[in-house]
Copies of this chain bind each other. A is one copy, B any other.
Amino acid sequence: MSGEGWVAVVGTGPAGPEWLTPETAGILEQATDLVGYGPYLDRVAAGHQRRHASDNREELARAGHALDLAAEGAKVAVVSGGDPGVFAMGAAVLEAVDRDTAGRWRDVEVTVHPGVSAMQAAAARLGAPLGADFCAISLSDNLKPLAVVERRVRLAAEAGLVMALYNPASRARPWQLGRVLEVLGEVHPPQTPVIFATAAGRGDQERLTVTTLAEADPARADMRTLVLVGIPATRVLQRPDGTLRVYTPRYYEEAE
C-alpha cells in the first residue's frame, strides 16, 4: 500500500487471534484508523489507532466514513468479523465507491483481504460437514423478500448443496428460519443432519448442537449462531470419547 490514504477491508476471523491472518495483523499495525462494529474493534485494537466504532447496521454509511477518512490521508482498516468478503464490509465499501458519482473517493486505494469465515470455523469444530459442494445463504433482515429466500433454499437443496445459513435469527422475521427448515424438509429426508453452531471457537460461549431436520428447533438460533444443513449423504460419527464428528463425503452418492 502506498504512503497516502487507503482503505483496507479486513476480517478478524470468527473468534480470537488464533484465526486472524498475519496479513491482517500487519495491516492493522499499519493502520491509523479502525472503522467497524464495536465488538470487532475490541478484538483487534492495539491502542495506537483511532477507533471509529459503530453499530452493526448502516453498512453504507460506515463505508462512506472510512472512505472520507482515507481521502483526507488516513490509513483506514475497515474491520469485519469473519471474512470481509462473505456477508460483510467488502461489498459495502465497493458499493459506496460505485455510487460515488461526485468522485470524492476517486483516488482512494481500496483493497480487500481474506479471513476465516464463520461457516469454516463452525464446520471445523465438528469435522468437515462442508466437505462437498456447498452454499452460503444469508437470512439477514431486509436484504431480500422471504419468497426469494424460500426459492433459493429449495433450489440449493434440490441441487444437493450442503448449506450454511448466516444470520438465521431474523429480528424482523423471527419465523423465517422455521419456514426455511420446513422447505428443506420438503426436499431432504427427516434424518438429514443439521448443526446449530453458536459462538464457534469462543471458549465457554461456544455451543454446538448436532440434530436432524425432523428435530431441529429454530429457537436454538440466536444472533451468534450459524446453522449448517447437510445433505442425505452427510454422516455423523460418534467417537469413543463421546464427541461427534460430521462430514460430507467428497464424492457423489446415488442415494443422494
Contact = CB atoms under 8 A, between A and B. Distances in A.
Nearest to A13: B21
Contact of A241 (B98, B109, B127): B109
Interface in A1-35: 9, 13, 17-23, 26
Interface in A184-205: none
A56 to B, nearest CB: 13
B145 A91 contact: no
A172 interface: no
Given A19-B21, A21-B13, A252-B143, A134 B131 contact: no
B127 A86 contact: no
A44 to B, nearest CB: 13
A22 B18 contact: yes
A120 B26 CA distance: 19
A85 B120 contact: yes
A137 interface: yes
Contacts of A23: 18-19
A181 interface: no
Interface string A58-96: 010000000000000000000000011111101110110
